[in-house]
């Protein structure tokens, strides 16, 4: 069969833009029996790390060459399986790429296990949610009474992290760019406060929202936002270093001020979500009831069709997404 | 009575130098009964933090003004006590200052409790040793099998940290400035290896000494030494941020690269020794047998007499001390 997929037409610059991409058609080989599933992609997930991945700056992986398949998590419908664990019609999640059909290694396929919409498995139940859970519960060990701060709070990692912290009894303060995102963080995600870092003098509002300072800060941005967060921690604070979207597109080596780490006896904890893939089930056990009861939400920012994927990815790179960035690849996706 | 003390003649610049100081004579008031001890100083301890303390850059404390008493730990002999816990002739340690006699608050006096020489209470059994113990055992939780890296390894904090780590079963790699200091670290302190960072291509030697990388790194220096240490950690490494002697004298805001912290899932742990003052006894219980058996050593770098204190302090600021920097204030000190 023949498929459509988005590929690079040329290597990306510091900031990937829509014109870096093109759609091509190519033949798809048959799935290897017992190893691969032939799937139809319903949704493709866009996540900030893909930006640095395309530049060869993610976890030591090489940048995809022009014309090569691009990395991306999907939810998909199994069309054909010669594997005992999967049959045609099953809904699965896994790394298929920027394509309408593809081959998914069965070993990397996660069966969808909830009544929630399939796309939820790319957001709150997907890698962003797992990342948030790992940082909040396994690294920072958030508990009742914590003052929890997180930036990029309108995004699926930050938004989910804050909601988990709140459900565990913390007071939650988000940081996001723009009034619309802040409203989402407060009104939909239910944070106690959200500060707009585009506003003049936002650090005063941030300090006021924190009160005595944060006891846990979850970092998704880097640069001056990280430095500001560090200057508002309490003694003994835990800092989760998760994402550095401000640094994914080049520029000087990302650094963090040392003095507040020492003066506040902070614990700074590096997070790589891949370490927690084996524990995805633990997160789902916690998260699925919360999602089904409506206590844990992620707003989705969905583009229709692969042809709109390049522009939608550029919007994510510019921070213009409002919630979880997705491409609805199959027009009839539920 | 009248005492001699070293004071500032003018505010210090970025790097305190001997000519910043002068000796003056002044009257000493009587000790407050039940609260203060009149003591004769035997040894005065010089520690790197005093450099930033004199510049008003230590833990938010103001810089001493010209003519004011200067901070410093001492071991001293009690001359007069109207306090039930101390009597004339007792040997104590505490903050007396850069003086030959002084008043020591009884609440801040530690009685010397070992057959080891009194000056040991300013080094391995003093604040530097407590700092090393806290970082190695309470923050990094060093255990057998760890690969332990530390810089300023010839100094009392670094040297003691490495010896504790070795006694707990770690392989120990020191970093020090110059062949003489490295010989001390290897031959006297018993580190498995020590690398001279003044040597060209020292990072290659450092990497070779570590093998697969450090599992624990104890930072006393900052700047490029910290960045180098971070680029040689293993996944899951613990980093104790203790001292930043490279930054105590001004210059740009000390920073640390973030990428290795995330990529290696490191734990970065800020250490302030004051948090562990209440647990000094725990360290002494462990350390005194080690000291008395000769298994834990600290070389001392001793100047004779208060009049030599300014030059001796300048040498410490320049990193020219060889081991624990002390001033023998009383000519007859044991």
Task: Evaluate if residue A123 carries a pLDDT over 80.
Answer: yes
Q: How far is A233 from chain B (nearest CA, A)?
A: 13
Listing DSSP states for B145-177 in one string gives T-EEEEESTTSHHHHHHHHHHHHTT-EEEEEES
Q: Averaged over B256-279, what is the pLDDT?
A: 95
Residue B134 belongs to a domain with what CATH number? 3.40.50.720
Whether A291 is in a domain gets the answer no
Whether A334 is in a domain gets the answer no
Q: Which chain B residues touch A226 with a CB distance below 8 Å? A: 258
Helix (H, G, I), strand (E, B) or coil at A313: helix
- Going along chain A, which residue ranges are E strands? 2-8, 21-27, 36-45, 73-81, 91-95, 101-105, 110-111, 147-151, 171-176, 193-196, 214-219, 233-241, 255-257, 267-270, 300-304, 324-328
pLDDT bucket at A116, cuts 50 / 70 / 90: confident
Strands A267-270 and A255-257: unpaired
B233 contacts B33 by C-beta, under 8 angstroms? no
Q: B269 vs A271: CB contact, 8 Å cut-off?
A: no
Task: Evaluate if residue A227 carries a pLDDT over 90.
Answer: yes
Per-residue pLDDT at B77: 97
Per-residue pLDDT at A324: 96
Whether B184 is in a domain gets the answer yes
In our burial notation (b when 16+ CB lie closer than 10 A, e otherwise), range A90-106 reads: bbbbbebbbbbbbbbeb
Which residues does residue B83 pair with via DSSP β-bridges, in sequence order?
A: B86
Task: Evaluate if residue B109 carries a pLDDT over 80.
Answer: yes
Maximum alpha-carbon separation in chain A: 62
B65 contacts B93 by C-beta, under 8 angstroms? no
Do B84 and B153 sit in the same domain of this protein?
A: no
The pLDDT mean for chain B works out to: 94
Per-residue pLDDT at B57: 84
Kindly report, residue by residue over B167-205, the tens digit of the pLDDT. Answer: 999 999 999 999 999 999 999 999 999 999 999 999 999
Q: B253 vs A257: CB contact, 8 Å cut-off?
A: yes
Q: B271 vs A265: CB contact, 8 Å cut-off?
A: yes
Which residues does residue A238 pair with via DSSP β-bridges, in sequence order?
A: A216, A267
Do A20 and A99 sit in the same domain of this protein?
A: yes
Per-residue pLDDT at A276: 97
Q: Averaged over A214-236, what is the pLDDT?
A: 95
Do A116 and A137 sit in the same domain of this protein?
A: no
Whether B182 is in a domain gets the answer yes
Sign of the torsion formed by the C-alpha atoms of B153, B156, B157 and B161: positive
Half-sphere exposure of A194 (CA within 13 A, CB side): 29
Per-residue pLDDT at B113: 84
Q: What is the dihedral of CA A314, A318, A319, A321, to 10 degrees?
A: -30
The pLDDT mean for chain A works out to: 94
B148 contacts B215 by C-beta, under 8 angstroms? yes
Using CB atoms, which residue from B60, B258, B271 is nearest to A241?
B258
Kindly report, residue by residue over B217-246, the tens digit of the pLDDT. Answer: 999 999 899 999 999 999 999 999 998 887
Residue with tokens 């995805």: A280
Q: How far is A73 from chain B (nearest CA, A)?
A: 21
Residue with tokens 């006894």: B281
Nearest C-alpha neighbor of B83 from the set B103, B101, B112: B103
Do A70 and A50 sit in the same domain of this protein?
A: yes
Tokens of A294: 């409506």
B174 contacts B195 by C-beta, under 8 angstroms? yes
Do A114 and A236 sit in the same domain of this protein?
A: no
Do B195 and B270 sit in the same domain of this protein?
A: yes
d(CA B244, CA B258): 17
Per-residue pLDDT at B173: 98
Taking the Cβ of residue A1 and every Cβ of chain B, the question of whether any pair is shorter than 8 Å is answered with no
Taking the Cβ of residue B252 and every Cβ of chain A, the question of whether any pair is shorter than 8 Å is answered with no
Per-residue pLDDT at B251: 74
Task: Evaluate if residue B298 carries a pLDDT over 90.
Answer: no
Do A80 and A111 sit in the same domain of this protein?
A: yes
Q: B59 vs A253: CB contact, 8 Å cut-off?
A: no
Domain count across chain B: 2
Q: How far is CA B227 from CA A182, A215, B2, B217, B223, in A?
A: 36, 27, 50, 11, 7
Do A135 and A94 sit in the same domain of this protein?
A: no
Checking ipTM against 0.90, whether it exceeds it is no
Q: Averaged over A173-188, what is the pLDDT?
A: 97
Nearest C-alpha neighbor of B324 from the set B117, B140, B62: B117
B332 contacts B308 by C-beta, under 8 angstroms? no
Classify residue A150 as exposed, middle or buried by CB count within 10 Å of its CB (0-12, 13-18, 19+). Answer: buried
Do B236 and B264 sit in the same domain of this protein?
A: yes
Q: Averaged over B102-112, what is the pLDDT?
A: 94
Tokens of B287: 């350390």
Helix (H, G, I), strand (E, B) or coil at B192: coil
Q: How many CB atoms lie within 10 A of CB A221?
A: 25
Per-residue pLDDT at A113: 84
Whether A290 is in a domain gets the answer no
Do B166 and B192 sit in the same domain of this protein?
A: yes
Q: Name the most confidently modeled range: A113-117, B138-142, B241-245.
A: B138-142
B42 contacts B328 by C-beta, under 8 angstroms? yes
Using CB atoms, which residue from B242, B244, B258 is nearest to A244?
B258
Q: Containing domain of residue B23, as a range?
A: 2-123+299-328
Whether A281 is in a domain gets the answer no
Helix (H, G, I), strand (E, B) or coil at B267: strand
3-state helix, strand, coil in chain B (%, to 5): 35, 30, 40
Nearest C-alpha neighbor of A134 from the set A275, A291, A230, A285: A275
d(CA B52, CA B12): 10
Find the radius of gyration of the CA atoms of chain B: 20
Whether A207 is in a domain gets the answer yes
Kindly report, residue by residue over A235-268, the tens digit of the pLDDT. Answer: 999 999 998 887 776 777 888 899 999 999 999 9
Do A118 and A137 sit in the same domain of this protein?
A: no
Do B324 and B220 sit in the same domain of this protein?
A: no
Nearest C-alpha neighbor of A287 from the set A110, A158, A163, A150: A163
Q: Residue A81 phi/psi, 5° resolution? A: -140, 130
Per-residue pLDDT at A58: 85
Strands B73-81 and B36-46: antiparallel
Taking the Cβ of residue A252 and every Cβ of chain B, the question of whether any pair is shorter than 8 Å is answered with no
Whether B291 is in a domain gets the answer no
Q: Averaged over A135-157, what is the pLDDT?
A: 97
Residue with tokens 């995102």: A181
Taking the Cβ of residue B267 and every Cβ of chain A, the question of whether any pair is shorter than 8 Å is answered with yes
Kindly report, residue by residue over B177-187, the tens digit of the pLDDT. Answer: 999 999 999 99
Q: Name the most confidently modeled range: A112-121, A205-214, A245-254.
A: A205-214
Using CB atoms, which residue from A247, A255, A269 is nearest to B256?
A255
Q: Averaged over A6-17, what is the pLDDT?
A: 94
A333 contacts A70 by C-beta, under 8 angstroms? no
Helix (H, G, I), strand (E, B) or coil at A239: strand
Per-residue pLDDT at B154: 95
Q: B259 vs A244: CB contact, 8 Å cut-off?
A: yes
Q: A59 vs B263: CB contact, 8 Å cut-off?
A: yes
Per-residue pLDDT at B252: 79
Residue B114 belongs to a domain with what CATH number? 3.90.180.10
Listing DSSP states for B233-244 in one string gives EEEEEEEEE---
Kindly report, residue by residue over A40-65, the tens digit of the pLDDT. Answer: 999 999 999 999 899 998 888 999 99
pLDDT above 90 covers a percentage of chain A that reads 87
């Amino acid at each position: 069969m023949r498929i459509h997929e988005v590929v690079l037409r040329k290597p990306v610059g510091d900031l990937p833009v829509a014109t870096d991409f093109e759609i091509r058609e190519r033949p798809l080989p048959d799935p290897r029996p017992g190893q691969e599933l032939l799937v139809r992609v319903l949704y493709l997930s866009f996540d900030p790390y893909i930006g640095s991945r395309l530049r060869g700056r993610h976890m030591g992986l090489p940048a995809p060459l022009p014309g090569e398949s691009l990395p991306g998590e999907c939810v998909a419908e199994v069309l054909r399986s010669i594997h005992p664990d999967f049959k045609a019609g099953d809904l699965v999640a896994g790394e298929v790429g920027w394509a309408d059909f593809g081959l998914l290694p069965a070993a990397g396929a996660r069966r969808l296990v909830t009544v929630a919409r399939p796309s939820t498995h790319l957001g709150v139940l997907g890698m962003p949610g797992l990342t948030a859970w790992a940082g909040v519960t396994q690294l920072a060990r958030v508990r009742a009474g914590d003052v929890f701060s997180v930036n990029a709070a309108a995004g699926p990692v930050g938004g989910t992290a804050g909601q988990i912290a709140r459900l565990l009894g913390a007071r939650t303060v988000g940081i996001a760019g723009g009034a619309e995102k802040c409203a989402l963080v407060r009104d939909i995600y239910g944070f106690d406060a959200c500060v707009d870092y585009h506003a003049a003098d936002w650090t005063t509002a941030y300090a006021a929202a924190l009160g005595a300072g944060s006891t846990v800060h979850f970092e998704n941005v880097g640069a001056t936002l990280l430095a500001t967060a560090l200057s508002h921690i309490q003694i003994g604070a835990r800092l989760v270093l998760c994402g550095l979207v401000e640094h994914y597109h080049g520029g000087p080596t990302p650094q963090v001020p040392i003095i507040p780490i020492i003066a506040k006896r902070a614990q700074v904890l590096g997070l790589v979500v891949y370490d927690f893939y084996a524990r995805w089930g633990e997160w789902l056990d916690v998260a699925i009831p919360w999602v089904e009861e409506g206590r844990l939400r992620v707003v989705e920012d969905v583009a229709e069709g692969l042809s709109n994927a390049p522009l939608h990815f550029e919007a994510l790179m510019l921070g213009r997404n409002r919630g979880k960035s997705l491409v609805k690849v199959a027009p009839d996706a539920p």
